[in-house]
Structure 1
Amino acid sequence: MSSSTASTASRRASTAVDRVDVLKGPSAILAGIAPNGSLGGTINYITKRAGSEPLNRVKILYGSDSVFTQQVDFGRRTDDGKAGLRINVLNRNGETSFDEHVRTDSITIGADYKGDRYRLGFDYGYVYNKVSDQQYQLTIGSGALKTMTSMFKVPRGTKFGADGGYRAIHEQYGMLHGEYDFSKDWTGYFSYGLRNTKMEYFYNNFSLSDRLGNATMKYSYNNQVNKADSGEVGVRGKFFTGDLKHELTVGANRIHYTRYMNNRTVKSGLKTNLWDIDFQVPENPYSWSEPKNDENTFTGVALTDNITTPNEKWQFVLGGREQRVKVDTYGTKTGAEKTHYDESVFTPAFAVVYKPQKNISLYANYMQGLDAGDSLVTDTDASNYSEAFAPFKTKQYEVGAKYDFGKWATTLSAFDIKSPTLIEDTATNRYAPNGEVRHRGIEWNVVGEPHKGTRLMGGLMFLDATYRNTEGGLYDGNRVAATSRWNAVMGLEQDIASVPGLTLTTNLTYNSSAYTNEANSFRVSPWATWDLGASYKFKAGGVPLTLRGDVYNVTNRNYWRALQNNGVFLGKSRTFLFSLTADF
């Protein structure tokens, strides 16, 4: 069951997820406009269901500096296998490597029933998460930008979030999904989901003023309620026209969500120094309030036809979605409507796959994506904060090849993605869609088990992400903020034959340098991290146990990650995690 369309949940409990499908690139044809503003891809969660065998699993984790986690996973099916129930409960509490205090409680329930011609599924989740004394980004202020082009090193674990700050989230969601087989070739389906999320933040913005470490701080209080409901209905099936097989899907969906939010400045202009930070935490004079901030309704109808030749050497995908987008924003103080957008747009999709051999696939596609999230000004310091623009349409061209060697497989692809973007006018502190970003690159991936007991997964990407057609050509040719030209990851698992049940793992991650702004005047250096792990499966008293230990950032690399809007985030220092899992 896909849960992403059904609930548009913002804080999915990971304990409820059985599998995660990552669909790269724009994909408006699949689920419509991205409700949370993601054009780089779509994440589809497949929720857990009870298996054929009873499950009683307990997992205990300990992570540095002192985070304890307890998790219970329970699953049962009826004797006839038709009805199933899966329950996951999690509690996490303790201090992280940034001296944050984390508390998470969640419970998820997944139920399903399999009839002769129909299937039903239901999911419910409750998540509470609070992070106190949280770490925040460091903003490079205008003064520092005049004298600095890169960030100097700071002691590991330096805190830019004030003690006394917090962010708390309560979320509940529910989903219902059903399928009915009209015949062996045709199936109807529906999904419906609800979500209610309450969030409260008391936080500081730490802005560097110069290379000496002088800084200013601003404290803000933000509370909001997000309410969402979504539904989908459709039919899928197959038929033949001559020798060609058609797999047809026709579906309609609707996503509606409303945000009630009040973001207020508590105190600003506080002076301090990075080398001896005095956070000067003020009293918060504000209380909870829920003025309507924005309301969004996305409706659409889509049709796709997957056409296959008799020998399966050729496969063609044709499709399109008619999407209506309605976005309204409101004044926090007056409650009056500030901006309004209500239009429809058609997004086509085309793809072709050619298999010269059974283990070789060559493909090309053209996809479009829609994004309302990035067309809404979210910078709270902007003069036109919360202004909504027409949704951005993204166009992607991609070609690639996949070679399956049996025990392992590799893919190579080249892509070109173009999309409008919001650009800040620094003179007026106003954002407008005065530009375009183009992401052009080549990506190589490999996955498999080339030798029994040796599993690998990795990839390498060259990304040329640049601004184009900016007003007056001001940023044309500059690299898009927070993007690296080179990204690489390689993971290896090795079973130790001489010690049955023992597996060693290692992972390497690399990101080349990246800029923090459109002007490319400030950048962070390249960074790489190395992770190590080991797991050991054994039995004690007839109970299957798995003992696992992981070390992240083994070399304790001190590095910065680039963010947009002149932000940087200090990478985590060396972190340990140990767990014990028992299946009773």
Structure 2
Amino acid sequence: MRVSYRPTAALALAINAAICAASIWPAIVEASAEARVYEIPPSPLSEALARFADQAGVTLTFDTSLTQGRMSSGLVGAYTVESGFSALLAQSGLQAAEQSNGVTILRAGEEGAVTLGITQIEGAAYGAFEPPAAYDGGQVATGARVGMLGNKSIMDTPFSITSYTAQHMENQQANTVASVLRSDASVRIRTSEGHTQENFMIRGFRVDSADLAIDGLFGLAPDGHVPTEFLERVEVLKGPGAMLTGMPPAGGVGGVINLVPKRALDTPLTRLTTSFVSDSYVAEHLDISRRFGAEERFGIRFNGVSGDGETGVDDQSKERALWSLAADYRGDGWRLGVDGYENRERTDDGSPIMIGFTNIGTVPRAPDPSTNLLKGVYVKQENSMVKLRGEYDFTDHWTGFASIGSARTRYDGYLRGTALRLSNVNGDGFGDTINQKGYSDSLSSEFGLRGHFETGSVTHQLVMVSTRLHQEIGRAPAVRSARYPTNLYHPSTPTLAGPVGAQEKAEDNTLTSFAIADTLGFFDEKLLVTVGVRSQRVEQAMSTPSRYDEKKVTPAVALLVKPWDAPVSLYANYIEGLSQGESIGDIRAPNYGEQFAPHQTRQIEAGVKWDLGAFTHTVSVFELENTSVVQDPLTLRYSDDGEQANRGVEWSMFGALTPSLRVLGGVTYTRAVLEKSAGGLFDENTARGVPKWNANLSAEWDVAGVSGLTLSTLVMHSSSQYLDSANNLKAPKFTRYDLGIRYGMSIYERDVTLRASLENVENRAYWAGSFNEGFASIGQPRTLKVSATIDF
């Protein structure tokens, strides 16, 4: 039986739960203004400090290297801010010092320590400019940005969210966001690995590369794929998030991927990494961080990358250059920061390809993943961005914040449409190439107010925010080559499309929104109820296919309960996603050119989070429903009456099983069902590109008796998946293995880390995912990565 959920019902459920809890739970004695009661269990020191700062309402920032490997016995009893930090840091040789700007920093030794006052910066438990501390093991963080709600502890977040750290990216030698998210069982890449476009599936629904956000702002991330060298965090919020973040420009609803750029550390850093990737690609990466002034209020972080050489695809070469700069200033009651990057890439003599099977009705074996089916093609991509952000504390309880950024994208070459359509199971088929050229210019902004207050015994964390994203997109008419015969396993030389003409403006889109949300805390915030709503406006100013101005309201309600003294959180949420309505581009259709209204995705989710101190589990169940466009087979008219319902269970875990063994991964089960298809033809079929089972497990083991030596592995598994709505084409299951080793040492008082990894150890040929109807993408070839990092 299928159950439909409405926002009003979900809101009533949450309110009733809060009332019931109020009637049966005993009142908890409120802490005095001078001291509060804390119950922080034994845990890694970084985790204990983050929890204490969160509950005390102070902004804490520190270099995680200071707390690496340190444990805390916890904190139980009544403490002031000063005495609480003193107790947590006893015997550690570390001290907490409050700066004149209200930010508390962690430093070694007693010199320079000052008495702490109670400085509250509400709504951002770890500070809006500082990401939450790393969890034990350093692979993920203790918290993440939850859209307009700001940075929140994972245990206080009524959604499923994971934040991957820069340390994890470096140790995995992950050079793009897609390679970072290999560790997440809820995420799969839809395009071939190494393709110039990295598009994802989260919980069985698409999230395109254009839907990635930077510091919560859409439209600013590099187009195609995102390099990781300038990133401090890659945060994944699973499920739709229109109320939390606003509508993504490409309409992705499966989740939200937010990128946090690197910023200046509290300790100086000069780090050089030299890397080699098979076949002959070599890159240099320079990372420099400094803070200046007597109180180190001004900081600068620079990252620069230059790389060139051949890739793992036969005869393909790649050249790239990246620079990024972040500057920030910590004033008295205000903070200001500027971020910018420029990323240039050129790929020559080849591109990963997607294979179509509709003409043969079956899925043959995958080719050797290093096979180059598109020799001679090239792609040039240029991306740049600059962003200004700031905060001002009106009082200890109210903070205003604003961000504005501009991004520019240019591309030229055979970027999309790299496809081969098979004619028989022997791999014969026909291909063509498409030459393209285009641009996009984006201006994105966010303005808001965040505050904390109390009504009786109920606490409130109120947030109001307004966003605007304007994008102008232009392109030249694509030029397609003549079809040419080739073979999947023994490719011929492709026919290249001719030159493109002049570019013309094709889209002029503006997305504006206003949102308000309140998190109500009951019983010393052991019960948290979040209620919010966002009004979204979508405007398309071009007359072709049609002018467009629509509004939608997307609500959300979430409940989080901490019923025991043990660090366990029970949560549930109802939240909606929002996608821009599709434009009908089929010239055969009677309603060719029609633009549908924005459509909403609805999710209901419930789960439990259990923090064992150094190891955390999350188990959740969810249901997502999304509108889809269907065509009437008789009239050929399109409508937006179709639906897809994904129901699933997720288990994720991370942390340290022992001091020398760290694990990260999870398992997901998803049942993706088509409903209300045209004429009921595909009703109850499985949606394409959604395996029922996905599993990922990575592990790191510090070898006993050899200081600094660590072995690692990553296992990825996906069950079989359909490639078409009719369920006639099925790609088989696959399992892939990666192995790694690293060794950290000191040479002439310089920290040096050597890393090596072998990805897809067996060079397994497999179909990785589905991008378009009847098409599959090819997995990554065996790839050797070697790097050496030295800190000066």
TM-score by length of 2: 0.69
1:298 shift after superposition: 0.7
Per-residue CA deviations over 1:252-310 (Å, capped at 9, x if unaligned) read: 010111110124233233223334422342461434x2211112111110001001113
Cα distance, 1:422–1:92 mapped onto 2, change above 3 Å: farther
Residue 399 (structure 1) aligned with residue 606 (structure 2)? yes
Q: Report what 1:301 is aligned to.
A: 514
Q: Report what 1:95 is aligned to.
A: 310
Q: Report what 2:768 is aligned to.
A: 561
2:221 corresponds, among 9, 22, 30, to: 9
Q: Report what 1:127 is aligned to.
A: 343
Q: Report what 1:224 is aligned to.
A: 438
User: Counterparts of 1:386 and 1:561 in 2: how far apart (Å)?
Assistant: 33
Per-residue CA deviations over 1:45-79 (Å, capped at 9, x if unaligned) read: 11111112211110000011111111001111103
More moved, 525-534 vs 262-271:
262-271
Cα distance, 1:551–1:142 mapped onto 2, change above 3 Å: closer
Secondary structure of 1:210's counterpart equals coil
Q: Report what 1:190 is aligned to.
A: 402
Residue 419 (structure 1) aligned with residue 626 (structure 2)? yes
2:750 corresponds, among 543, 560, 564, to: 543
1:41 corresponds, among 244, 255, 264, to: 255
The answer to whether the Cα contact below 8 Å between 2:633 and 2:678 also exists between their aligned partners in 1 is no
The answer to whether the Cα contact below 8 Å between 1:113 and 1:120 also exists between their aligned partners in 2 is yes
The answer to whether the Cα contact below 8 Å between 1:515 and 1:562 also exists between their aligned partners in 2 is no
The answer to whether the Cα contact below 8 Å between 1:549 and 1:579 also exists between their aligned partners in 2 is yes
Per-residue CA deviations over 1:161-200 (Å, capped at 9, x if unaligned) read: x211112111111100000000111100000000110011
Residue 172 (structure 1) aligned with residue 384 (structure 2)? yes
**Unaligned runs of at least 5 residues, structure 1:** 330-335
1:522 shift after superposition: 0.7
Per-residue CA deviations over 1:343-382 (Å, capped at 9, x if unaligned) read: 111111101111111311111110001112x735689999
**Which of the two has greater helix per residue?**
2
Q: Report what 1:63 is aligned to.
A: 277
Residue 32 (structure 1) aligned with residue 239 (structure 2)? no
Secondary structure of 1:414's counterpart equals strand
Q: Report what 1:333 is aligned to.
A: none
Tell me which amino acid in the other structure corresponds to 2:319.
R
Tell me which amino acid in the other structure corresponds to 1:88.
N
Q: Report what 2:292 is aligned to.
A: 78
Tell me which amino acid in the other structure corresponds to 2:364.
M
**Which of the two has greater strand per residue?**
1
More moved, 419-428 vs 316-325:
419-428
The answer to whether the Cα contact below 8 Å between 2:646 and 2:670 also exists between their aligned partners in 1 is yes
Cα distance, 1:270–1:33 mapped onto 2, change above 3 Å: same
User: Counterparts of 1:219 and 1:385 in 2: how far apart (Å)?
Assistant: 26
Cα distance, 1:521–1:428 mapped onto 2, change above 3 Å: farther
2:784 corresponds, among 544, 553, 576, to: 576
Tell me which amino acid in the other structure corresponds to 1:337.
T
**Unaligned runs of at least 5 residues, structure 2:** 1-128, 130-213
Per-residue CA deviations over 1:113-154 (Å, capped at 9, x if unaligned) read: 010110000011101011122333333254222xxx222243
More moved, 90-99 vs 114-123:
90-99
Per-residue CA deviations over 1:450-508 (Å, capped at 9, x if unaligned) read: 21111111100000011111121111111111110000001111112301111111111
User: Counterparts of 2:388 and 2:587 in 1: how far apart (Å)?
Assistant: 37
Residue 324 (structure 1) aligned with residue 530 (structure 2)? no
Tell me which amino acid in the other structure corresponds to 2:665.
G
Cα distance, 1:156–1:142 mapped onto 2, change above 3 Å: closer
1:497 corresponds, among 696, 701, 704, to: 704
Cα distance, 1:177–1:472 mapped onto 2, change above 3 Å: same
Secondary structure of 1:472's counterpart equals helix
1:537 shift after superposition: 0.6
User: Counterparts of 2:431 and 2:587 in 1: how far apart (Å)?
Assistant: 15
Cα distance, 1:537–1:402 mapped onto 2, change above 3 Å: same
User: Counterparts of 2:763 and 2:494 in 1: how far apart (Å)?
Assistant: 30
Number of residue pairs aligned between Structure 1 and Structure 2: 572
Q: 1:199-278 counterparts in 2 under 5 A?
A: 199-202=411-414, 204-278=418-492
Cα distance, 1:430–1:324 mapped onto 2, change above 3 Å: same
Cα distance, 1:233–1:283 mapped onto 2, change above 3 Å: closer
Q: 1:445-456 counterparts in 2 under 5 A?
A: 445-456=652-663
User: Counterparts of 1:124 and 1:197 in 2: how far apart (Å)?
Assistant: 14
Secondary structure of 1:154's counterpart equals coil
Tell me which amino acid in the other structure corresponds to 1:177.
R
Residue 136 (structure 1) aligned with residue 352 (structure 2)? yes
Q: Report what 2:493 is aligned to.
A: 279
User: Counterparts of 2:634 and 2:420 in 1: how far apart (Å)?
Assistant: 22
Per-residue CA deviations over 1:93-115 (Å, capped at 9, x if unaligned) read: 11111122111101100000010
User: Counterparts of 2:577 and 2:750 in 1: how far apart (Å)?
Assistant: 49
Residue 356 (structure 1) aligned with residue 563 (structure 2)? yes
The answer to whether the Cα contact below 8 Å between 2:351 and 2:377 also exists between their aligned partners in 1 is no
Secondary structure of 1:312's counterpart equals coil
The answer to whether the Cα contact below 8 Å between 2:218 and 2:249 also exists between their aligned partners in 1 is no
Secondary structure of 1:144's counterpart equals coil
User: Counterparts of 1:379 and 1:56 in 2: how far apart (Å)?
Assistant: 55
Secondary structure of 1:517's counterpart equals coil
Cα distance, 1:157–1:424 mapped onto 2, change above 3 Å: farther
1:530 shift after superposition: 0.8
Provide the alpha-carbon RMSD of the alignment.
Answer: 2.2
User: Counterparts of 1:345 and 1:376 in 2: how far apart (Å)?
Assistant: 18
Identity rate, percent: 33
Cα distance, 1:231–1:123 mapped onto 2, change above 3 Å: same
Residue 291 (structure 1) aligned with residue 507 (structure 2)? no
Q: Report what 2:324 is aligned to.
A: 108
User: Counterparts of 2:737 and 2:410 in 1: how far apart (Å)?
Assistant: 37
User: Counterparts of 2:497 and 2:470 in 1: how far apart (Å)?
Assistant: 36
Secondary structure of 2:790's counterpart equals strand
Cα distance, 1:318–1:239 mapped onto 2, change above 3 Å: same
Q: 1:326-345 counterparts in 2 under 5 A?
A: 326-329=539-542, 336-345=543-552
Secondary structure of 2:273's counterpart equals strand
Secondary structure of 2:217's counterpart equals helix
Secondary structure of 2:706's counterpart equals coil
The answer to whether the Cα contact below 8 Å between 2:476 and 2:500 also exists between their aligned partners in 1 is no
Tell me which amino acid in the other structure corresponds to 2:296.
G
Tell me which amino acid in the other structure corresponds to 1:199.
Y
Secondary structure of 1:29's counterpart equals helix
Tell me which amino acid in the other structure corresponds to 2:751.
P
Tell me which amino acid in the other structure corresponds to 1:303.
I
Secondary structure of 2:536's counterpart equals strand
The answer to whether the Cα contact below 8 Å between 1:7 and 1:192 also exists between their aligned partners in 2 is no
Residue 150 (structure 1) aligned with residue 357 (structure 2)? no
